[in-house]
Amino acid sequence: MSCKTGSRVAMRPLSEEALEMIARRFALLGEPMRLRLLHALFDGEKSVTALVEASGGTQANVSRHLQAMAEAGLLGRRKQGLQVFYSIADPTLFQLCELVCGSLEEKLARDAKAFARAG
């Protein structure tokens, strides 16, 4: 079960359940609209209405995505009067996005270089 504690994920036999949990988490990050919402939340909690405006999505769709991420523990939910405020609940989200973003940048730079060489 344990795969943190400084040791390599590589070495551990991952159970089918663990694999599905990990996959589900990655899959949640695998849609542009949800990334847009997360990105909008990176500078602090926001109401659903604010997120609808920030993302350009419909109210129903945004609400659904927010709920899905909240259920997975990615987002926190705070109800205040009529409004519901969502916020980043899992700090690893920042690191995950940094990692992927950085990796993509490097790849793009490499590709551009290769293109220049080839041309």
In this chain, which of 58, 104, 113, 114 binds a copy of itself, going by CB under 8 A? 104
Q: Which is nearer to a copy of itself, 78 or 81 (CB)?
A: 78
100 binds, among a copy of itself, DNA, none (CB under 5 to 8 A by kind): a copy of itself
CA 72 to each of CA 11, 12, 46: distance values in angstroms, whole numbers, following the listed order:
26, 23, 18
Integer Cα distance of 116 and 119 in angstroms: 5
87 binds, among DNA, a copy of itself, none (CB under 5 to 8 A by kind): none
User: Are the C-beta atoms of 77 and 70 separated by less than 8 Å?
Assistant: yes
Give the end-to-end CA distance of the chain in Å, rounded to a whole number: 50
Q: Which is nearer to a copy of itself, 43 or 82 (CB)?
A: 43
Per-residue binding string, DNA, 85-104, x by CB under 7 A, is x-------------------
Integer Cα distance of 94 and 74 in angstroms: 11
In this chain, which of 35, 50, 54, 68 binds a copy of itself, going by CB under 8 A? 35
The one-letter amino acid code at 91 reads P
114 belongs to the binding site for a copy of itself (CB under 8 A):
no
